[in-house]
Chain A
Amino acid sequence: MAIILNQNQDLSLKERFFNLNFIFIAIVCTLAFIGCAILYSAAGGNLSPWALNQGIRFGLGLLIFLVASLLKPELYYKLSTPFYLFTLLLLIIVEIAGHTGMGAQRWINLGFFKLQPSELMKIAIVLELARYFSNTPLSEIKTIKGIIAPTIITIIPVTLIIMQPDLGTSLMILFSGVALFYLAGVQWWKFASCLGIIAISAPILWSKLHNYQKNRILTFLDPERDPQGAGYHIIQAKIALGSGGLTGKGFLSGTQSHLNFLPEKHTDFIFTMFSEEFGMLGGVLILILNLIIISYGYWFAFRIHPSNYFGKMVILGLNTNYFLYVFINIAMVIGLLPVVGVPLPLISYGGTVIISVMASFGIMMSFYVHKDKELKK
């Protein structure tokens, strides 16, 4: 009876707090701690300039996570559309600013913080698509008409971000969107025909391009075409990684990183530095910790109240987003994907990603905290 009673009653703050999944939080903290440790090593055994800053940012991220996880899930549902529209507006502002002589930029300077609207969009698009699909019956989702709106919702921000140009982020948003389409029940053949259309039209579009445009795109997709520039980076990254071997060269002893052969060692290529110093075992440890986080994500989605379709979609969308972060980053630094500029969340130096990832974890956790309650729309 008590449970039924509870269903209609809001959880107290204390109840919400004890409903948090502390193992999940512990693993997130472990990854963040590993990140600070590598940044300490990257600075040659110094807390400055990176490790301490990163720690402070993570602390801030943890705070945002707590706030987000203690909020009521209904809030996210209600805010999803306004938040999406607001973020879209910011994206347009950034785009226009970039075209009116203020220089190409991806962020809005808020004085104390440089806000990247594209990072907000990663969350906004998931919320908005989840809201749409949760309110649309399956029969409609299975029609062409039913997916026109979510397609537009996805295509506009992806296009805006690709023009920044930020291929990595726009692909992540696109893939998260596609994942939600798939989860919502859009038929296989629609994805297949979409791929087919792209495959057919690509050569035609390609032939209409000028040579310099083709070169620009090719180098954009495959930096190894330019061995002096980005190609040098990936070659040095492979050397760093390969020379690490099974157990690595030891903390503070990675020659490739400490002698500066490895570029961007504190940002996008931090996984390589870690793997140089801690070897394959270290790399696998990071992968496993991330896999546990992602598994928890799926567990959360399963676990929350069956009526909360919106929540399940949001969790799965944000979880996919996190997976894409980890996968694209590691795949690109070990030479499986082109270097598209995606950081390793929780570990790479940089405030925006920590904040956005912790916020999305917070949103996921908020649904988990209210796992036994129905979503009141």
Chain B
Amino acid sequence: MKTNNKLRILLKRSLTIYSANIFLFFVLIGRLYYLQIYEKEKYTLLADNNRISERLLVPPRGSINDRNGVELAMNNQNFQAMITAEHVHDLDKLLEEITPILNLTDSEKERIKKDISRHKRFVPVKIKDNLTWQEVSTLMLNNHLYPGLFIDEGLTRYYPFKQYTAHPLGYVGSVSTSDLEKSDAPLLQVPDFKIGKSGFEKTYDLSLRGTEGTLKYEVNAYGRIMQEIEKVEGIKGNDLDLSIDIRLQSFAYDAFGDESGAAVVLDVHTGEILAFVSVPSFDPNLFVDGISVKNWNNLLYSEKTPLTNKAISGLYSPGSTFKIAVALAALEEGIINTSTTSYCSGKMKLGNHLFHCWRHSGHGKQNVISAIKNSCDIFFYEVALKLGIEKIAKMSHKLGLGEIYDIGLENQKQGVIPDKQWKLSKLKTPWQQGETVIAGIGQGYVLVNPLQLVTMLSRVVNGGYEVTPTFLKQDTPPQLPSLNLKKSSIDIVKQGMFEVVNGIGGTAVKAKPKTKDYKIGGKTGTTQVRRISLKERKEGIKKDEDLPWKYRNHAWFMAYAPHDNPKYAIAVIVEHGRSGSGVAAPIASKILEEAIRLDIR
């Protein structure tokens, strides 16, 4: 009986446990239902997040071309030798074998070994980049000897014309923290992505950049790529077609020799900038992978400021080139005509102040044409006095001085076209008559950059149309608004500029082309960098050549060609070039000659 009771308890309680077992199994099934049916979406997403990685594919950057389609900024194929450690049998032996091919140094080999030890064994490590064709072909030929080694190709920005195009084009460089603050474009997050840092590369960056592609691939828990899932190729950035002619551009740059300065050549009818140089320049390729401190310091501290784009950022007194604006203003106002004359004795007295002509002995009797030809200061002192500063300023603005142009380049300096209002607000003192006098010869407060000066000349020689400089190639000539200048006035100043080059005793006879096929006209300018003191004037002015380079005068020459039917206009500044006629004029003339020879269309 006792035993039976014991057995009954056992069986009863075993049923209880069995029920508990079944219940617990249903708890498990319930949990499975919850995870696998109810929360399936969530975990499917998490599983995909685990296994699918996405990488952005950098699209090829748009190229920058000159007007004839010559690539000025391109994407060079960059071959890299890579190594995957897990496929290498004996790393030391492999490195020894490829050392003669790739000229690896001991420190490079150390770096490779360090990189390999730092990464997982399936991660490719770079051995060397920018391989030459010779190196690539040797490695490829003996590929079977080097398991684990492979060639990877990428694109690097390359500027084949180096210093010739550095200034307008600028360069690309690595994405900086401030770039990241300004934009949240996903491409910027890609390691090794290059962004436009200056010049057109910066201005047109978004257009040149293109649209990124994506590569979806499956990875395992250790990050190894198992397979490609989906690849969407990126879209190449838009090409940028410039108005520049690289042949003229390079020629213009070389024409400067060792001098420092800038030159801008304009098509006077379209405003297309055909050449745009600032000398000396630099090799923009140095910046693409990050410039070395040494190279950077060399550029930064050079006396000739290679990093400054003098064609737009360099401000200089226009000097005698400004006389064209003054003459035109006076002719338009009817203050002078060709028979209006002045007598130049070499000096002019205004109040207590004595104003000198550059030629101490004086030019004698001058009309507007001969005054331009000889660059007589006294004539223009008198004309300026009669005109007044306001009219000079008005004409200067009309001709494009003191303006900033929408050419897609940063750091344009506006310069100064002074008038009474300007002086009052800027210097808090009223305008002095003597200041009008020196403004008449482009000295004093007047400051222009070479681009503005060539625009002024273009507007005069194209018959008085408001041409605007542009770097974009114009397929059809633009309809230019007229400046409403009298043809006679324009003809008179053109005649003066013709005489400068072609007249006997003209200030720039050195600029006269050797050929008789065409004639050119132009105007010199020499501007003092330092003030000549009274004491110096008494002791006799030092010859410019005797001064240190940085105290020498700047030399201007602006010119156009052909004289009969002008197409090209040029402004050349040679910093500390001493004299416009001696240094700047031959450079400008050579460039114009080349432009005509090239017959740029």
Question: What residues of chain A have their CB less than 8 Å away from a CB belonging to chain B?
Answer: 137-139, 141, 179, 182-185, 236, 238-246, 255-256, 258-261, 275, 279-280, 283-284, 287, 290-291, 294-295, 298, 301-302, 306, 309, 312-313, 316, 320, 323, 327, 330-331, 334-336
Contact of B35 among A141, A182, A334 (CB under 8 A): A334
- If A261-B47, A302-B14 are given as contacts, then 20 extra A-B residue pairs at C-beta distance below 8 Å, sorted by A number, are A138-B6, A141-B6, A179-B17, A183-B10, A239-B43, A241-B32, A242-B44, A245-B36, A245-B37, A245-B44, A256-B47, A259-B218, A261-B221, A279-B36, A280-B32, A284-B29, A294-B21, A298-B14, A306-B7, A312-B7
B14 x A316 contact (CB < 8 A): yes
Alpha-carbon distance between A259 and B51 when the two chains are bound, in angstroms: 7
* CB 8 Å contact bits of B36-50 with A (1 = contact, 0 = none): 110110111011101
Alpha-carbon distance between A290 and B18 when the two chains are bound, in angstroms: 13
Alpha-carbon distance between A309 and B5 when the two chains are bound, in angstroms: 12
Inter-chain contacts of A138 with B (CB < 8 A): 2, 5-6, 9
Alpha-carbon distance between A260 and B51 when the two chains are bound, in angstroms: 10
A327 x B47 contact (CB < 8 A): no
Tell me if B3 counts as interface (CB < 8 A to partner A). yes
Q: Please list 22 pairs of residues, one from A and one from B, whose beta carbons are closer than 8 Å in the complex, sorted by A's number.
A: A138-B2, A141-B6, A182-B13, A182-B17, A183-B9, A183-B13, A184-B10, A185-B10, A239-B43, A239-B50, A242-B39, A242-B42, A243-B46, A243-B47, A246-B36, A256-B50, A261-B47, A331-B28, A334-B31, A334-B32, A336-B28, A336-B31
Tell me if B27 counts as interface (CB < 8 A to partner A). yes
A312 x B36 contact (CB < 8 A): no
Inter-chain contacts of B39 with A (CB < 8 A): 242
Alpha-carbon distance between A370 and B185 when the two chains are bound, in angstroms: 79
Contact of A255 among B9, B10, B50 (CB under 8 A): B50
B47 x A240 contact (CB < 8 A): yes
Alpha-carbon distance between A241 and B48 when the two chains are bound, in angstroms: 13
Alpha-carbon distance between A294 and B222 when the two chains are bound, in angstroms: 40
Tell me if B33 counts as interface (CB < 8 A to partner A). yes
Tell me if B11 counts as interface (CB < 8 A to partner A). yes
Inter-chain contacts of A185 with B (CB < 8 A): 6, 9-10, 13
Alpha-carbon distance between A183 and B13 when the two chains are bound, in angstroms: 6
Tell me if B480 counts as interface (CB < 8 A to partner A). no
Tell me if B25 counts as interface (CB < 8 A to partner A). yes
A242 x B46 contact (CB < 8 A): yes
Inter-chain contacts of B474 with A (CB < 8 A): none
Given A309-B6, A312-B10, A313-B10, does the pair A336, B27 have CB atoms closer than 8 Å? Answer: yes
Inter-chain contacts of B31 with A (CB < 8 A): 331, 334-336
Alpha-carbon distance between A134 and B13 when the two chains are bound, in angstroms: 15
Inter-chain contacts of A331 with B (CB < 8 A): 27-28, 31
In angstroms, how far is the closest chain A Cβ from the Cβ of B227?
10
Given A260-B221, A334-B28, does the pair A244, B9 have CB atoms closer than 8 Å? Answer: no
Tell me if B22 counts as interface (CB < 8 A to partner A). yes
Given A183-B13, A255-B50, A255-B51, does the pair A241, B221 have CB atoms closer than 8 Å? Answer: no
Alpha-carbon distance between A230 and B546 when the two chains are bound, in angstroms: 83
Closest B residue to A185 using CB positions: B9
In angstroms, how far is the closest chain B Cβ from the Cβ of A338?
15
A241 x B36 contact (CB < 8 A): yes
Inter-chain contacts of A335 with B (CB < 8 A): 31, 35
Inter-chain contacts of B17 with A (CB < 8 A): 179, 182-183, 316, 320
Inter-chain contacts of A330 with B (CB < 8 A): 28
A242 x B36 contact (CB < 8 A): yes
Alpha-carbon distance between A240 and B36 when the two chains are bound, in angstroms: 9
Inter-chain contacts of A242 with B (CB < 8 A): 35-36, 39-40, 42-44, 46-47
Alpha-carbon distance between A309 and B7 when the two chains are bound, in angstroms: 7
Main SS at interface, chain A: helix
A309 x B3 contact (CB < 8 A): yes
Alpha-carbon distance between A238 and B35 when the two chains are bound, in angstroms: 7
Tell me if B98 counts as interface (CB < 8 A to partner A). no
Q: Which of the listed residues B5, B11, B27, B222 has the most CB atoms from chain A within 10 Å of its own CB? A: B11
Inter-chain contacts of B37 with A (CB < 8 A): 245-246, 280
User: When A and B form their complex, which 5 residue pairs have the shortest distance between CB atoms, in order from nearest?
Assistant: A242-B43, A243-B47, A259-B220, A260-B221, A280-B36
Inter-chain contacts of B40 with A (CB < 8 A): 242-243, 245-246
Closest A residue to B40 using CB positions: A245
Inter-chain contacts of B48 with A (CB < 8 A): 243
Inter-chain contacts of B222 with A (CB < 8 A): 260
Inter-chain contacts of B101 with A (CB < 8 A): none
In angstroms, how far is the closest chain A Cβ from the Cβ of B6?
4
Inter-chain contacts of A295 with B (CB < 8 A): 18
* CB 8 Å contact bits of B569-595 with A (1 = contact, 0 = none): 000000000000000000000000000
Alpha-carbon distance between A301 and B11 when the two chains are bound, in angstroms: 8
Alpha-carbon distance between A335 and B51 when the two chains are bound, in angstroms: 22
Inter-chain contacts of B190 with A (CB < 8 A): none
Inter-chain contacts of B46 with A (CB < 8 A): 239, 242-243
Alpha-carbon distance between A279 and B27 when the two chains are bound, in angstroms: 17
Contact of A259 among B9, B28, B29, B226 (CB under 8 A): B226
In angstroms, how far is the closest chain A Cβ from the Cβ of B37?
6
Closest B residue to A301 using CB positions: B14
Alpha-carbon distance between A240 and B28 when the two chains are bound, in angstroms: 16
Alpha-carbon distance between A240 and B47 when the two chains are bound, in angstroms: 7
In angstroms, how far is the closest chain A Cβ from the Cβ of B496?
83
B3 x A298 contact (CB < 8 A): no
Alpha-carbon distance between A183 and B20 when the two chains are bound, in angstroms: 13
In angstroms, how far is the closest chain A Cβ from the Cβ of B11?
7
A255 x B47 contact (CB < 8 A): yes
* CB 8 Å contact bits of B193-233 with A (1 = contact, 0 = none): 00000000000000000000000001111100010000000
Inter-chain contacts of B11 with A (CB < 8 A): 302, 312
A259 x B10 contact (CB < 8 A): no
Q: Which of the listed residues A139, A275, A280, A331 has the most CB atoms from chain B within 10 Å of its own CB? A: A280
Interfacial residues of chain B within 376-411, with CB under 8 A of chain A in the complex: none
Closest B residue to A320 using CB positions: B17
Inter-chain contacts of A258 with B (CB < 8 A): 220
Closest A residue to B3 using CB positions: A309
Inter-chain contacts of A141 with B (CB < 8 A): 6
Inter-chain contacts of B25 with A (CB < 8 A): 287, 290-291, 327
Alpha-carbon distance between A290 and B47 when the two chains are bound, in angstroms: 29
Given A182-B17, A184-B10, does the pair A275, B28 have CB atoms closer than 8 Å? Answer: no
Inter-chain contacts of A255 with B (CB < 8 A): 47, 50-51, 218
Alpha-carbon distance between A88 and B218 when the two chains are bound, in angstroms: 51
Closest A residue to B218 using CB positions: A259
Tell me if B24 counts as interface (CB < 8 A to partner A). yes
In angstroms, how far is the closest chain B Cβ from the Cβ of A222?
17
In angstroms, how far is the closest chain A Cβ from the Cβ of B19?
10
Alpha-carbon distance between A335 and B37 when the two chains are bound, in angstroms: 16
Alpha-carbon distance between A331 and B222 when the two chains are bound, in angstroms: 28
Inter-chain contacts of A243 with B (CB < 8 A): 40, 43-44, 46-48
* CB 8 Å contact bits of B251-269 with A (1 = contact, 0 = none): 0000000000000000000
In angstroms, how far is the closest chain B Cβ from the Cβ of A174?
15
In angstroms, how far is the closest chain A Cβ from the Cβ of B24?
6
Inter-chain contacts of B47 with A (CB < 8 A): 239-240, 242-243, 255-256, 261
In angstroms, how far is the closest chain B Cβ from the Cβ of A107?
29
Contact of A287 among B2, B6, B28, B221 (CB under 8 A): B28
B13 x A261 contact (CB < 8 A): no
A275 x B32 contact (CB < 8 A): yes
Alpha-carbon distance between A341 and B511 when the two chains are bound, in angstroms: 95
Alpha-carbon distance between A72 and B11 when the two chains are bound, in angstroms: 23
Interfacial residues of chain B within 39-93, with CB under 8 A of chain A in the complex: 39-40, 42-44, 46-48, 50-51
Alpha-carbon distance between A284 and B36 when the two chains are bound, in angstroms: 11
Closest B residue to A306 using CB positions: B7
Inter-chain contacts of A261 with B (CB < 8 A): 47, 50-51, 220-221
Inter-chain contacts of A137 with B (CB < 8 A): 2, 6
Given A284-B29, A284-B32, does the pair A260, B14 have CB atoms closer than 8 Å? Answer: no
Inter-chain contacts of A236 with B (CB < 8 A): 50
Closest A residue to B220 using CB positions: A259
